[in-house]
Structure 1
């Protein structure tokens, strides 16, 4: 009967656009989204990839260009003035915060010269901050956050670089990300197999056909060691490493370094960051296929390996199920929002306001047309002397009119005024839907804010929005720093030898104007009342935006000048070494006490002299 089914999924908010959901089929337009309809793309990912391209078109002012494919050349006349891009940039700035800090709990509480837990935490924190500076972590985060806010998802990739001797961090477009999600599990679970795949265009100069590249990270059981080799067709592959055959024993596969077998034949491995052996490891495969060889019912997860050409890394290792000696997949998916139950994907911040942006673009188009008639008004002429004469309106133009002739102008400025006011209303509507107050967009006059309390109330929707977005990223940020520590240990970096990975946090700074004076008064009052520690006070000031680079060093500098507290400490302990350690100084050496010198006897006191002599005489008799 031609009934149309209603599709409700993570991208159904785009069903209102005909180019995304063709009438009758309910699938994205093939000519507009050819990448999503490639033969190797799974059917479940077609709508996701189409949504990414459509959102990217809005971000780059190309939505009209994309709509032209279905609606014709008239769609190109739509004006796009960058409102979606401005919303994305604003949200990215808020969710990133003014600055980002890596903190390790306990790093502020250190004892000088002793390997305590606080000293280890301080060392890990310093090493992670050095890595963040070398790897330009804020810039990488900005790249990923712009993808996450605009498209709904972002992807990080970590890998060990033997040349630079540190983990490298890259960001990928979520359109390249294809996780193999469990069919009977929670979509929020970490997948055991992840593909990063994209097409490579044809290169006639180099004689290369159109190809598909796929990088696969897969968790699997530990297998015997392999080495680089070639197969019968001359392709580079990996083959098992066999032992030398004996007189009575055939060759057997050898184990990798540090691997052991149990009684059941399972291979286990002790990782530097685990307390017990593990039976699983991560394998890396980097291969390329010619698109002409991909025929039949296949997708990105079932590509034929017998037609693949495997790549090699800088060390010459063939990337055909290469054992990375890791018990985790170093790919981190960052959703923009907390995914719904049993879902994996986030939602773009433009999702719910996309129809408002369409209406805003239409209003801007109408305003542009109305402004043309306002700047060059329409004129009606009656009573002309020569009907064949052509008239042109311009400065200094002269018109010859007959008897009772007149000029009539059509004033379209009221319509233009209404269109502009309608555009402002639509912009406010879109900001309300996205939960971006006018003060956060910079469109509010600060002089019109009645008080700071009213300003704080107006930021309420933004606070809840950023709190939810940062909640979706909190675990991913912790996971990123955890993977960095493990990669340093796996790479056997000398600075990390013997270091135990510790839970580290990526603290995002404030995103709204903060009252530093109020924060200082609050911290000072609480610290003076002895309800918070000095470490907590420093942390609160750092979060309020005070320029404190290193909390531990700041605490040491404060204590080195706290002479009143040092005097109280000396009275309480009576130990000069403890007081000197508190001040960060060396205790002075105390000289030995001099022998007491008795005063000489007085000559005029004869009785005392006789008594002293009598005592000496009695002592001698004894």
Structure 2
């Protein structure tokens, strides 16, 4: 008996589509997804890459083009009006929030006990915000979130740019991302080796054949220093750097800057952000292969290194296991959802509603056909004996009928009305599955909302959805800012000299309509009741959408005008220096009290001083 196996994995929600799960092969159609079946693509990634292409087709209104490969030319008549793209754009805007802020815990503290820590946190926060502005961080985040929400995964890459003297941030399509995951570990563990690989098309004008480019970041043991050179075939490679001995002894390998070798031959290194030496570093390899040279059982992780052509960076360094002098892989994978246990990949926000989108497209196609017959009605004419006679329906048309002739029109508007109502039901069904209420899509009439409380209740599913999506991104955002700080230290930027990396957070703003007046009243009441601090009050107003760019400066400006509180502080402490510091001003110099000047005693009265008068008085008594 031929039993069909049921595949349940991270991509099994696409098994209902014959083009993705071919009934005869049980795998994605090769004609529809040739990229996923390339010889260098691992078998475990074929379904993932096919799913990415299929989801991208839905996002770009091209699902009918893929369906045509299997179902024929009739599939191209399918109407696609951008509903999946609208869902993606809505979710991206919600998960991004109205604004994004980089914060360092402790940077907004104003108590004098932690003045040194607060100053250091404020300095790191200012440097990170300056980097984010220079690197257009919100735009890069939007690019990555567009991929993560639509495809299920997004990829960031950080690298040090010596020309611009700052870490650069790039986003990659997850179809280029091939991590080497541990077989016996958790899929959520950070991989020890990551490949970014894609094919380069043939370029006849430049005489270039079809090629495969692979950029590899790999954690490995620290080895002796290497230098750029060429091999016997003239390929640029890296070779161990050897030191020349003064005597006839053989040359010895050269250690990298700051490296130390222990008694057992291991090489260790102390990184600026670590307090103890480590024996591992990250190596970068950027190589290209001609597709014709890839023969046999090879994949992206086992390409023949002898056939590779290595690239060079702007400094002329050959990128063949180049030591980056960092102890982390600067590639950050951002899943759209929290991956299941022992899984690595996220899930697209369209996954569970994809069948509803198919039904919606079919209904739109039927509605388009029905609207043609409604706009140009079908007419039946009886009482005409000449079957060759043709009639044209139009304004002012005259029909000559027989004695028993009549015109019969067929009204298809009820069918069109039903199709439109069915389309609205399917759209609501898809929104419910994705957990996007009508108010978040902008399809609800605001006048029909009974109250603000009812509106808040309707946003409950969206709140839980965005909370889960932001939870999947919280650690990745912190990891991104941590890597930025370490790259600044590794690049020896002068502004970061002597700085210790601090945990930074990327705070995403509100995504739902907020009542600023209600938020202000709540914060004011709580602050006047002394149940929250001024720092917490400013943070709550910022999250409510108030235009506060820098909380620290806002607090300083508020305190600079708080004269009543300054008067109470002066009465409590009696220290003008503390009061002036609270107001952000210079304490006035205290006047010095003048010395006491006693009146001068006349010269003729010096013999009659008090002491002598007392003596005379006592002598007379005697």
Question: Which TM-score band (shorter chain)?
Answer: over 0.9
User: In the alignment, which residue of structure 2 is the partner of 1:615?
Assistant: 610
CA displacement at 1:389 relative to structure 2? 1.5
User: In the alignment, which residue of structure 1 is the partner of 2:433?
Assistant: 433
What pairs up with 1:276-355 in 2 under 5 angstroms? 276-355=276-355
CA displacement at 1:516 relative to structure 2? 1.3
The answer as to whether partners of 1:2 and 1:24 remain within 8 angstroms in 2 is no
What pairs up with 1:355-394 in 2 under 5 angstroms? 355-384=355-384, 386-394=386-394
User: In the alignment, which residue of structure 2 is the partner of 1:606?
Assistant: none
- TM-score w.r.t. structure 2 length? 0.96
TM-aligned CA distance change 1:473 to 1:114, over 3 Å: closer
- TM-score w.r.t. structure 1 length? 0.96
- Give the Cα separation in 2 of the matches to 1:39 and 1:240: 33
User: In the alignment, which residue of structure 2 is the partner of 1:411?
Assistant: 411
The answer as to whether partners of 1:110 and 1:116 remain within 8 angstroms in 2 is no
The answer as to whether partners of 1:385 and 1:401 remain within 8 angstroms in 2 is no
- Give the Cα separation in 2 of the matches to 1:380 and 1:330: 72
CA displacement at 1:387 relative to structure 2? 3.2
The answer as to whether partners of 1:188 and 1:342 remain within 8 angstroms in 2 is yes
User: In the alignment, which residue of structure 1 is the partner of 2:171?
Assistant: 171
CA displacement at 1:114 relative to structure 2? 10
- Give the Cα separation in 2 of the matches to 1:306 and 1:544: 59
User: In the alignment, which residue of structure 1 is the partner of 2:71?
Assistant: 71
User: In the alignment, which residue of structure 1 is the partner of 2:489?
Assistant: 489
Bigger shift: 576-585 or 284-293?
576-585
Bigger shift: 227-236 or 580-589?
580-589
Q: CA RMSD in A?
A: 1.8
Bigger shift: 140-149 or 108-117?
108-117
Q: Deviations over 1:55-89 (max 9, x none)?
A: 00000000001100000000000000000000000
2:28 equivalent to 1:5: no
TM-aligned CA distance change 1:564 to 1:407, over 3 Å: same
CA displacement at 1:592 relative to structure 2? 1.4
The answer as to whether partners of 1:155 and 1:174 remain within 8 angstroms in 2 is yes
What pairs up with 1:446-465 in 2 under 5 angstroms? 446-465=446-465
CA displacement at 1:619 relative to structure 2? 6.5
User: In the alignment, which residue of structure 1 is the partner of 2:196?
Assistant: 196
User: In the alignment, which residue of structure 2 is the partner of 1:116?
Assistant: 116
- Give the Cα separation in 2 of the matches to 1:477 and 1:179: 19
- Give the Cα separation in 1 of the matches to 2:475 and 2:199: 32
**SS at 2:223's partner residue?**
coil
- Give the Cα separation in 2 of the matches to 1:222 and 1:413: 75
CA displacement at 1:246 relative to structure 2? 4.3
2:541 equivalent to 1:546: no
CA displacement at 1:104 relative to structure 2? 0.3
TM-aligned CA distance change 1:615 to 1:507, over 3 Å: same
**SS at 1:402's partner residue?**
coil
CA displacement at 1:17 relative to structure 2? 0.1
**SS at 1:195's partner residue?**
strand
CA displacement at 1:109 relative to structure 2? 1.7
User: In the alignment, which residue of structure 2 is the partner of 1:87?
Assistant: 87
- Give the Cα separation in 1 of the matches to 2:446 and 2:598: 83
Structure 1: where are the runs of 5+ without partners?
602-609
Q: Deviations over 1:278-327 (max 9, x none)?
A: 10000000000000000000000000000000000000000000000000
CA displacement at 1:618 relative to structure 2? 2.9
User: In the alignment, which residue of structure 1 is the partner of 2:207?
Assistant: 207
The answer as to whether partners of 1:11 and 1:47 remain within 8 angstroms in 2 is yes
- Give the Cα separation in 2 of the matches to 1:201 and 1:600: 108
TM-aligned CA distance change 1:326 to 1:407, over 3 Å: same
Bigger shift: 243-252 or 12-21?
243-252
User: In the alignment, which residue of structure 2 is the partner of 1:55?
Assistant: 55
**SS at 1:404's partner residue?**
coil
2:402 equivalent to 1:402: yes
User: In the alignment, which residue of structure 2 is the partner of 1:604?
Assistant: none
- Give the Cα separation in 1 of the matches to 2:89 and 2:67: 24
CA displacement at 1:239 relative to structure 2? 0.1
- Give the Cα separation in 1 of the matches to 2:574 and 2:613: 46
- Give the Cα separation in 1 of the matches to 2:112 and 2:131: 24
2:24 equivalent to 1:24: yes
**SS at 1:155's partner residue?**
strand
User: In the alignment, which residue of structure 1 is the partner of 2:40?
Assistant: 40
Number of aligned residues: 613
Bigger shift: 384-393 or 14-23?
384-393
